């Protein structure tokens, strides 16, 4: 918009330079105005991130300006005609740049105007694009002007030199151009300046699944004193007491405390069963208006042996800490960009495991931005664990569950069957299972409740990964998954769910290496 006003100001001042050809003083002022606005227009075109242009593009614009100026000069002796043309040409150019008149090639053909934009995109940043190496965003000026797009740098990773994430920009398509969505995508892809174009899809917190039958109470005996472990049926199926015994008998100590980031709706950092293990990245993440993130945090890292609530795989506070990165708004909505922002913030603040109980069905099979985020997390020493989803479909159709490089978690019930709602992970490279039905955990305001979903299964896996990491800090995602796979037990639907995690067997497998 800045360049539009500067271009019009340059044209108007040039026109008055011609108009006042017999009045030296006024002509001199008009000339100075022309030089000033013209210089500002060129500078803005070259350097503003949403309005850059090439030298050739600027030259063509200035040529058009002089042609229009000479044309209007022929009517400088006819005041009414001169001012009418000045207003008509200035207004016409402005409207063509903001309202879509066929002026200066700003309107695409009618054939481009009939394809509707998908309804699941962020209305303020519909696309994510990656600028090719050796090119600058300024080179997209002609496309920006053609469709009145707004480009904004998408991500700001701390170690930008080691990732392509800092080459990403969001693209805001104005309402008047939404019908041109397909043409815009095609034009960007065919520009030779872009490595990647993908939808910035909106996502919601998965609806909490209901369960037809209540899980029976756990009958296990535990050496830790957390009073509600009888409500945590999954601990028997995963032999958690055997884990506590093995750690105590072998006097295992962490080499480095692992940090789990719950990338979710926030976490109630003051919860009685979390606060001892919680570390804050930023206070804006430390509340939870929905409750989903707090429930996940308790599963992954509840304080064990504190005479309150439940426990986690870590027998004391030396192995694992937990933090929060809030990516959902208070109404439970987010976008791919916000999730990737959350991943970057987490690993740039020392998170070593990302627990991501989020995602949704995706129509975009590319997912290159997610892959770049996972790669960046891995380079920073973090392992990414993601929910398979609750649509009872193949998780290959869901993001980020299907992204290469993540461990994807399906949910099982207390009969060791695939939960009726759980997506399948058999077609993914790194699929695994954990309890996801009638899971008892923390919710805000020092309360506890049962919830169901692959969202609940995911932090069980994240908690175990963090425990393994604390014993062998440099372990990779692939090495962790190999251990989970070898040490896991069969479910009644292993080909669909992957194996059920077995913490004590996983620790033994790790220490053999």
- The answer to whether 293 and 442 are in contact (CB under 8 A) is no
301 falls within a domain? yes
205 falls within a domain? no
- CA separation for the pair 505, 487 (Å, rounded): 5
Residues 422 and 283 in one domain: yes
Which comes out higher in pLDDT, residue 179 or 93? 179
Between CA 180 and CA 150, with CA 124 as vertex, the angle to 5 degrees is: 65
Residues 142 and 194 in one domain: yes
Which comes out higher in pLDDT, residue 71 or 427? 427
Residues 263 and 400 in one domain: yes
213 falls within a domain? no
Residues 81 and 193 in one domain: no
pLDDT in tens, 208-223: 655 544 566 666 789 9
Just list the catalytic residues: 264, 292, 455
248 falls within a domain? yes
Average pLDDT over residues 42-67: 63
- CA separation for the pair 94, 65 (Å, rounded): 14
pLDDT over 90 (residue 478): yes
pLDDT over 80 (residue 286): yes
Q: Count of domains in the chain?
A: 3
302 falls within a domain? yes
pLDDT in tens, 213-270: 456 666 678 999 999 999 999 999 999 999 999 999 999 999 999 999 999 999 999 9
Residues 440 and 333 in one domain: yes
Residues 312 and 369 in one domain: yes
Residues 85 and 119 in one domain: no
Domain end among 200, 215, 250 = 200
Residues 298 and 401 in one domain: yes
Indicate which CATH number applies to the domain containing 376: 3.40.50.200
Beta bridge mates, 325: 263
489 falls within a domain? no
Residues 90 and 122 in one domain: no
Give pTM, 2 decimals.
Answer: 0.79
Residues 360 and 428 in one domain: yes
pLDDT of residue 216: 63
490 falls within a domain? no
Residues 379 and 418 in one domain: yes
Reading the block at residue 188, the tokens are 């960007």
Residues 87 and 121 in one domain: no
Q: Structural domain of residue 315, as residue ranges? A: 229-475
Reading the block at residue 489, the tokens are 């037990």
Residues 6+ apart with CB under 8 A from 276: 303, 306, 317
Q: What is the CA radius of gyration of the chain?
A: 29
107 falls within a domain? no
């Amino acid at each position: 918009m800045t360049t539009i006003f500067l271009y019009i100001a340059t044209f108007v001042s040039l026109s008055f330079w011609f108009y006042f050809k017999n009045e030296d003083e006024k002509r001199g002022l008009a000339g100075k105005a022309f030089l000033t606005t013209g210089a500002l227009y060129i500078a803005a075109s070259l350097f503003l991130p949403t309005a850059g242009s090439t030298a050739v593009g600027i030259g063509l614009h200035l040529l058009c300006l002089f042609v229009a100026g000479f044309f209007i000069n022929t009517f400088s002796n006819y005041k009414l005609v001169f001012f009418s043309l000045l207003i008509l040409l200035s207004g016409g150019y402005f409207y063509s740049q903001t309202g879509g008149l066929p002026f200066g090639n700003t309107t695409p053909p009618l054939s481009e105007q009939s394809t509707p934009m998908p309804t699941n995109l962020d209305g303020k940043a519909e696309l994510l694009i990656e600028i090719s190496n050796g090119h600058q965003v300024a080179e997209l000026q002609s496309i920006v002007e053609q469709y009145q797009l707004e480009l904004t740098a998408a991500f700001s990773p701390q170690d930008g030199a080691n990732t392509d994430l800092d080459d990403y920009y969001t693209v805001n398509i104005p309402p008047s151009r939404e019908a041109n969505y397909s043409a815009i995508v095609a034009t960007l892809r065919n520009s030779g300046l872009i490595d990647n174009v993908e939808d910035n899809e909106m996502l919601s917190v998965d609806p909490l699944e209901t369960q037809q039958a209540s899980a029976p109470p756990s009958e296990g005996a535990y050496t830790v004193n957390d009073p509600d472990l009888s409500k945590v049926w999954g601990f028997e199926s995963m032999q958690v007491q055997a884990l506590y015994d093995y750690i105590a008998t072998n006097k295992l100590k962490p080499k480095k405390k692992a940090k789990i980031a719950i990338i979710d709706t926030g976490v109630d950092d003051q919860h009685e069963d979390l606060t001892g293990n919680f570390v804050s990245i930023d206070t804006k993440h430390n509340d939870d208006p929905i409750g989903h993130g707090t429930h996940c945090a308790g599963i992954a890292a509840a304080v064990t042996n504190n005479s309150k609530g439940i426990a986690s795989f870590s027998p004391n506070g030396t192995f694992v800490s937990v933090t929060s990165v809030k990516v959902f708004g208070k109404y439970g909505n987010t976008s791919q960009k916000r999730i990737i922002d959350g991943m970057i913030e987490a690993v740039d603040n020392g998170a070593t495991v990302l627990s991501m109980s989020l995602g949704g069905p995706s129509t975009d099979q590319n997912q290159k931005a997610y892959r770049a985020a996972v790669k960046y997390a891995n380079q920073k020493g973090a392992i990414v664990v993601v929910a398979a989803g609750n649509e009872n479909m193949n998780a290959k159709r869901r993001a980020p569950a299907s992204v290469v490089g993540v461990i994807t978690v399906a949910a099982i019930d207390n009969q060791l069957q695939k939960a009726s709602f759980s997506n399948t992970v058999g077609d993914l490279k790194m699929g695994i299972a954990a309890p996801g039905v009638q899971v008892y955990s923390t919710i805000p305001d020092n309360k506890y409740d049962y919830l169901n979903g692959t969202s609940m299964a995911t932090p069980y896996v994240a908690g175990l990964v963090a425990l393994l990491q604390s014993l062998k800090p440099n372990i990779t995602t692939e090495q962790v998954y190999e251990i989970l796979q070898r040490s896991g037990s069969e479910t009644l639907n292993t080909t669909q769910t992957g194996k059920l995690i077995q913490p004590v067997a996983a620790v033994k497998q790790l220490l053999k290496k």
